[in-house]
Amino acid sequence: MQRRTILSTLALTPMLGHFSSATAAESAESYPSKPIRLVVPFAPGGQFDGLARLFAEKLSASWKQTVIVENKTGAATMIGAAFVAKSPGDGYTILFGASGVVQNPSLYPKMGYEASELTPVARMHDIPFSLAVLTSSGVNTLAEFIAKAKAADGKLTYGQISTTSQALGEIFQQSAGIKLVGIPYKGEANAVTDLLGGQIDATFVSPGTAANYPNKVKVLAITGTKRVARLPDVPTFDEAGITTLKQSGWGGIFLPSTTPRPIVNKLSAEIARIGVLPEVVQKTNNAGYPVSVAEAPEFERFVNSEYGYWRDIFKRYNIKAE
């Protein structure tokens, strides 16, 4: 009897696999059939949040479903990421994430979730960072800022708006031979407010945000390998003499790793389609975020390489979590 039961179970196994695949395909065909939650791990008001709302609007229009944007900030984006990672893998809770997703595992032994609990869905754009100061500071070039920082002997402050900006700030300091005091913020809007109010001396911020204050904010340099369309006269750090800041951040979509592959692929294709719409490209460029679309397979390979890249960077520059 026991042998017969085992054989019956084995005989059913291929059928169960077939039913499982069929169920996933059927689920993807009807997806989405209810409102979607788009989680943004940054505070409202910044360029990143604005683009998340634009993608939500386009996704809602194309899929005829409500897409609700929820800002879950704090803990270097880990609160938002953990919320999505621990959510049901049904495609209805999406992370509008950034490069902190691949950086935090090398900085924090306890994140509230495992990196393997998130699956990459689609990359949308690159996120270069600009170093900005007040125009009234009298600093007009990166070289002048470095000279001022050296004279201040470690007393100048700068805003850190993300894990990436913290890392880039540390690399900049070591490369330039200066010491700055990093002030962490939950989003760039708060950092810019404090910069305008004179509470901090400088901040890393998106080029598009800095460009919104042409008479008040002076952008000294931009990370990455190319100048951005919104600020064509601003040099890259490389052009300004700091050759170690060619890497930028990026924005991408993630789902819980338990999400069926057909749903991942369906969302990936739709995000990639939205990412190259003329209106989206224009607003993305205005934000200072060059379009860099990649669907799931390519984005997965990219994310895996990024884990290793940032782990090596943190070790090389002895960067610790703050």
Q: Which of 114-118, 180-184, 245-249, 255-259 has the lowest mean pLDDT?
A: 245-249
pLDDT surpassing 60 at residue 21: no
Query: In this structure, are 216 and 68 located in the same domain?
Result: no
- Dump pLDDT digits (tens) for 164-178: 888 899 999 999 999
CATH code of the domain covering residue 260: 3.40.190.150
Q: Is residue 240 part of a domain?
A: no
- Dump pLDDT digits (tens) for 66-95: 999 999 998 989 999 999 999 999 999 999
Q: Which of 12-21, 91-100, 186-195, 293-302 has the lowest mean pLDDT?
A: 12-21
Angstrom distances, CA of residue 218 to CA of 59, 109, 212, 225, 243:
35, 37, 11, 20, 21
Q: Is residue 11 part of a domain?
A: no
Query: In this structure, are 123 and 206 located in the same domain?
Result: no
Angstrom distances, CA of residue 275 to CA of 60, 100, 124, 206, 283:
14, 21, 6, 19, 10
Q: Is residue 28 part of a domain?
A: no
- Check: CB of residue 160 under 8 Å from CB of residue 182: yes
Query: In this structure, are 118 and 146 located in the same domain?
Result: no
Mean pLDDT, residues 36-65: 94
pLDDT surpassing 90 at residue 54: yes
pLDDT reported for residue 23:
52
- Dump pLDDT digits (tens) for 249-284: 899 999 999 999 999 999 999 999 999 999 999 999
Q: Which of 222, 238, 266 is the last residue of a domain?
A: 222
Q: Is residue 153 part of a domain?
A: yes
Confidence of residue 182 (pLDDT cuts 50, 70, 90): very high
Q: How many domains does the chain have?
A: 2
Which DSSP string corresponds to 216-240?
A: TEEEEEE-SSS--TTSTTSPBTTTT
Query: In this structure, are 175 and 113 located in the same domain?
Result: no
Confidence of residue 15 (pLDDT cuts 50, 70, 90): low
Q: Is residue 233 part of a domain?
A: no
Query: In this structure, are 178 and 157 located in the same domain?
Result: yes
Q: Beta-strand (E) ranges in the chain?
A: 36-40, 67-71, 93-98, 118-127, 130-134, 157-160, 181-184, 202-205, 217-222, 249-256, 291-294
Query: In this structure, are 143 and 287 located in the same domain?
Result: no
pLDDT surpassing 60 at residue 245: yes
3-state secondary structure (DSSP) of residue 34? coil
Determine how many CB atoms are found less than 10 A away from the CB of residue 130.
27
Query: In this structure, are 121 and 153 located in the same domain?
Result: no
- Dump pLDDT digits (tens) for 292-314: 999 999 999 999 999 999 999 99
Confidence of residue 140 (pLDDT cuts 50, 70, 90): very high
Confidence of residue 149 (pLDDT cuts 50, 70, 90): very high
Query: In this structure, are 108 and 66 located in the same domain?
Result: yes
CATH code of the domain covering residue 160: 3.40.190.10
pLDDT reported for residue 248:
86
Q: Is residue 179 part of a domain?
A: yes
Instruction: List the domain range (segments joined by +) for residue 167.
Output: 130-222
Query: In this structure, are 207 and 60 located in the same domain?
Result: no
Mean pLDDT, residues 143-156: 97
Determine how many CB atoms are found less than 10 A away from the CB of residue 14.
9
Q: Is residue 228 part of a domain?
A: no
Q: Is residue 84 part of a domain?
A: yes
- Cβ burial of 273 (10 Å; 0-12, 13-18, 19+) is middle
pLDDT reported for residue 227:
92
Query: In this structure, are 68 and 86 located in the same domain?
Result: yes
- Check: CB of residue 146 under 8 Å from CB of residue 176: yes
Q: How far apart are CA 141 and CA 240, in angstroms?
A: 8
pLDDT reported for residue 188:
87
pLDDT reported for residue 10:
43
What pTM, to 2 d.p., does this model score?
0.84
Query: In this structure, are 41 and 116 located in the same domain?
Result: yes
Query: In this structure, are 119 and 156 located in the same domain?
Result: no
Mean pLDDT, residues 49-70: 97
Determine what percent of the chain is predicted with pLDDT higher than 90: 77
